[in-house]
Homo-oligomer: A and B are copies of this chain.
Amino acid sequence: MQLHNTSQYAIRVLNFIANHSDDRLYSAKELSEILNIPYKFLTKIMGILVKTGFISSIQGREGGYELNTPASEIKLIDILNTFNDETDNESCVLGIGICDSVNKCALHDQWMEPKSLMRKMFEETTLNNLTCKDCKL
């Protein structure tokens, strides 16, 4: 019951960049050191974040990454979907397939409240709701 490492990394990177977007460009090397994420794995993830349009990259010497979309428009759920961290009904708690209020699994009644709260959180939280100056990176 956990997010994928890639999702966690992506959230942390995007959050950091969003919090320092006025500043300047950050390179993969810096991000890797600041956020303590394996360099080679980070660059792989950055490539995906560029392709999906969350960030844009400046190539070459003195290059780096910067936010390409306003922080207020990047929802956590969008990041999760990018890395196959599904939160939809198809892959719900007992994974039984399509289900509704009449056709439900044994856990349904207990699960719906935590699940909907979780889903609501991922859907409504954007990067700029996350701004937290003293938080761990």
Partner-B contacts on A (CB < 8 A)? 1-3, 5, 8, 11-12, 15, 76, 80, 85-87, 91, 93-96, 99, 103-111, 113-115, 117-118, 120-121, 125, 129-132, 135-136
With both beta carbons as reference points, the residue of chain B lying nearest to A98 in the complex is identified as B136
- Choose one: B8, B86, B103, B110; the contact of A2 (CB below 8 Å): B86
When the two chains form the complex, which single residue of B12, B104, B131 contacts A94, counting CB atoms closer than 8 Å? Answer: B12
Could you say which residues of chain B place their CB within 8 Å of the CB of A118?
Answer: 1, 114-115, 118
Most buried by B among A12, A86, A103, A136: A136
- Tell me whether A136 and B1 are in contact (CB under 8 A): no
Tell whether, in the assembled complex, residue A94 and residue B1 are in contact, meaning their CB atoms are under 8 Å apart.
Answer: no
Asked if B125 and A110 sit within 8 Å, CB to CB, the answer is: yes
